[in-house]
Structure 1
Amino acid sequence: MNRPPQAALPDPTVKLSEGWHCLHIYYRVDQAALNAIGKSDRDWGRGELMHWLNPEREDAPQRLLAAVMSGHRADLGLMIMDPDPLVIDSVVQAIRACPLGPALVPTYSFVSISEVSEYVPTAEQYGEKLVAQGLEAGSEMYAAKLNAYASRLPAMNKQRLYPDFPELPVFCFYPMNKSRVPGANWYMESFSHRSALMSEHATSGIKFAGRVSQLITASTGFDDWEWGVTLWGRNPESIKEIVYTMRFDEASAKYAEFGPFYIGYSRTPQEIVDHLRL
């Protein structure tokens, strides 16, 4: 019996076909463990920690952010992105193995990957949206809007997959799901309805351009939540305002479930070591 030909399988790899792996991890300082570390090891450990937290070192991951965290759940927060998940994990293992490792206790982590959301319209879908809004296909205004969107789309998608971290001082992270409860099951809604709700949600966020930068990473199959939301703010109140404002959108008010919020302030490795009194 002749078997039908099978498509060639991709080569085994830990890397993604597009996009980067992402890790958020948070530590608290165990003061008793820190006090038990001798002075020479503590001095050495500070230097080692600053080395591993330095995003400019030669073998650093593609993106590395360190922040002083507010509240009792964590003192230090890291966000790390790279094509190779083991490069990301090498930072975690280096911190664990350095002389200050016993005093830095992980309290929470979140594993995800970058993606282009299925709700980001293609140029063709954007054209259909313009027609639905009342523009005549082929009109001068239609062509201008469509061409402007099509020219922006590659750069926007590149930023979603291979993001630059903005140089903003306030750093916020939280995980989220879309609900599955009776009467508000996101996954029972049609794609067109979900897409319309997400378009409304995105329109709310655009109002904060320049004040807040956002990155959504996908965690289905990687962690207990479905997405991770990272926000960078020009000031603290902008974080509160964008989260409050967007909760009134139906996609959030009816269908969103939120995990714990972590907020902190981006600092250099030296500033972090000094602030945490390591």
Structure 2
Amino acid sequence: MGQIAPATLEGWYALHQVFSADWAKLRALPAEDRAAVAEEAAALFAELAKGAEGQDGGWSAAFKLVGGGGDWLFVHFRPTLDELAEVQRRVYDSELGVHLVREYDYLSVTEAGLYHATAQAAQEAKPGSDEYKRIIQEAMEAEGAAAHVKSRLYPQVPEGMKYVSFYPMSKRRGETLNWYALPVDERSRLMREHGMTGRTFSGRVFQVITGSIGLDDWEWGVTLFARDPLEFKRIVTEMRFDEASALYGEFGQFFTGIRFAPGEWPEVLGSRPRGG
């Protein structure tokens, strides 16, 4: 079986933004001006959290980063790239945006890879043929209707999971080990094994996989939510022993943070007096 690209299902566009604050500039503001920045930020993120049409229109959330990389991670999900661009514009044009220094951003789209369905279709019909396309289309429609697939393509804010870990990754394309040179049935086997490991963390970690081939420098983004941040260490450790990661995984920078509500911007910016 030749090298066939797996069929994929896509949902919401995603933008991960990492910012540092210009603290010198912020702290030089009079107290009332700093309070105004915080109040506008609270109103902006309260609105962005709902999306254009409530949760069906996507959502945004802000996280305090712990460790290197920046001060805050903003995560946005929207149905279209145009809506995501508008969210980006509103962040930059806000009073808060004047005091932000962009450290990193990542553009992608929620994705469900249909490796198994693609491998099966290739066994039943010649890749590229009308019959092959029909089988793939039927598989996409069936998978797209499944509740667990919808939760991956249109993820909702994970209830009670305030910790986040985000990192980009790609599959290796070296002279000796090349993911893209593997037959699709072999890639299907490896990803099925990888997925089974991830499922053992169901209820403890909520995973959102986003594809970025053609959109950003890496190939996928992984966003993990959990109630206990140690679960990030556990799941990444377990999954790195899977053959798909051990042989073919390449990883970018990790960002770990704690979600905070829009109303907490005054405390985050230090504009509210202690005990106030």
TM-score class, shorter-chain normalisation, is 0.7 to 0.9
* Cα distance, 1:207 vs structure 2: 1.1
Give the residue type in structure 2 aligned to 1:75.
Answer: D
d(CA) in 2 for partners of 1:272, 1:68: 11
d(CA) in 1 for partners of 2:89, 2:26: 18
State whether structure 2 residue 85 is matched by structure 1 residue 92: no
Gaps of 5+ in 1: 1-16, 129-149
1:251 corresponding residue in structure 2: 244
* Cα distance, 1:159 vs structure 2: 1.5
User: Closer, same or farther in 2 for the Cα pair 1:21/1:120, shift >3 Å?
Assistant: farther
Cα shift readout 1:178-212 (whole Å, capped 9, x = no counterpart): 00012210000000001000111111111111110
TM-score (norm 1): 0.78
State whether structure 2 residue 153 is matched by structure 1 residue 161: yes
* Cα distance, 1:270 vs structure 2: 2.2
State whether structure 2 residue 212 is matched by structure 1 residue 219: yes
TM-score (norm 2): 0.79
d(CA) in 2 for partners of 1:189, 1:256: 14
Give the residue type in structure 2 aligned to 1:70.
Answer: V
1:274 corresponding residue in structure 2: 267
| Structure (1 or 2) with the larger CA radius of gyration | 1
Greater relative contact order structure (CA < 8 Å, 6+ sep): 2
1:109 corresponding residue in structure 2: 105
- Pick one of 56, 64, 68 that aligns with 2:64: 68
- Root-mean-square deviation (CA, aligned residues, Å) is 2.5
Cα shift readout 1:123-153 (whole Å, capped 9, x = no counterpart): x95xx9xxxxxxxxxxxxxxxxxxxxx8996
2:182 corresponding residue in structure 1: 189
d(CA) in 2 for partners of 1:153, 1:94: 33
* Cα distance, 1:92 vs structure 2: 2.7
* Cα distance, 1:58 vs structure 2: 6.5
Identical residues among aligned pairs (%):
39
1:262 corresponding residue in structure 2: 255
1:45 corresponding residue in structure 2: 37
- Counterparts of residues 233-248 of structure 1 (less than 5 Å): 233-248=226-241
* Cα distance, 1:32 vs structure 2: 1.3
Counterpart contact for 2:165–2:257, Cα < 8 Å: yes
Aligned residue-pair number: 239
Cα shift readout 1:211-255 (whole Å, capped 9, x = no counterpart): 101010000010000000000112011110000111000100000
Cα shift readout 1:134-177 (whole Å, capped 9, x = no counterpart): xxxxxxxxxxxxxxxx8996112212221212121110100000
User: Closer, same or farther in 2 for the Cα pair 1:162/1:228, shift >3 Å?
Assistant: same
d(CA) in 1 for partners of 2:64, 2:80: 26
